[in-house]
Amino acid sequence: MRLKLLPILFFLSCTQFTFADGYIYLSNKTPLFFISKDNVYSPDGTQLQYFIKGNIFFTGETDEKQNIFLLATSMDINSEKTQMIYEKDNRAPSYTFSDGKWYLGNPQSEDIKAQSELLHVEKSGKWMAFYSSITDSLLAYYLADSLPHFSAVLTAYSVMVKYKLSEKLADQKAAGPFTQNTYSTIKPIWGNVTANEWLWDGHTLRPRWNVDPRLVWSFDGQILKQQYESNIYEQYEWDGETFKPLWRTNRAQEWSWDGRIMKPTWDTDWANQYTIDDGVVKPWSNVHPEKEWHTDGAIPVPVIILVISGIARTY
């Protein structure tokens, strides 16, 4: 069975197909699968890889026993009841899932489940995203309102295997608690705190409660840019004292830092001159509590500027 498709641009994928047709992408925008009805095709959309009957995934073109690939007790990844994934010829489940979270094996207690979590699935607007629970990094996503249940199960399984999450979890446990990933946060002290909270992992900045990959930024010590977008006009450079656009001139987006105050370079309004004191970023004039931010953990100055200037958005 083969499916002929015309070349499709990345940003058109969410509008070209209905509920059951569409691409699933890895975090680097590389297609992982093409989904059509109850069939799963190769990344170029031409070769049938898997098809589903009931709760069973088959390879090849027939539903013969030797073609069984996976068996799931349910296709509802948000099931409140624990569901199981069996690999071919295995009597014990390789993975279990419930409430959008995936676990290694079949943990029997909440404590063990917390120690066995490999993956979590989050949905925001028209995005469904699959994150590693070990590093909280984006692994795959789908650009549509809804992802068919069977393809969500297959995607979760595929990225756990592809990125060797079970091995990484074992390595993390063996290394001990001091090597586990931690995150710094920055959020406003007043106003809509939840909607504007950010996570910083030492390399990437992303909204805590919005999984849209287009909102993720990276910083390598010099260049700040959208991690999954290629817009050169949304790239900024940092030299230790000055923050400014990399490929264009925009004085309104230029900031300076003298070791004590961060401020827009060409703005003399004291309300826009910020100090950092004991985790609180606030205007030097100290009469604008609505502009105060709280940081928890170490966050570089240019990343703070990215947030408080409004260049980085949570929506």
Residue 81 pLDDT: 94
Residues in the chain with pLDDT values less than 70: 1-20, 125, 145-146, 173-181
Residue 17 pLDDT: 37
Summarize pLDDT for 174-188 with one digit per residue, the tens: 655 434 457 899 999
Cα–Cα distance between 203 and 238 in angstroms, integer? 14
Structure token digits, residue 71: 């068996």
Structure token digits, residue 163: 């990125």
Structure token digits, residue 180: 């586990």
Structure token digits, residue 162: 């592809």
Q: How many CB atoms lie within 10 A of CB 159?
A: 22
Cα–Cα distance between 261 and 278 in angstroms, integer? 14
Contact indicator for 129, 122 with CB cutoff of 8 Å: yes
Cα–Cα distance between 184 and 182 in angstroms, integer? 7
Residue 16 pLDDT: 39
Contact indicator for 179, 141 with CB cutoff of 8 Å: no
Summarize pLDDT for 93-131 with one digit per residue, the tens: 999 999 999 999 998 888 788 888 999 998 876 788 898
Residue 15 pLDDT: 36
Alpha carbon 20 to chain centroid, angstroms: 23
Residue 146 pLDDT: 67
- The burial of 157, by beta-carbon neighbours within 10 Å (0-12 exposed, 13-18 middle, 19 or more buried), is given as buried
CB hemisphere CA count around 89 (13 angstroms): 2
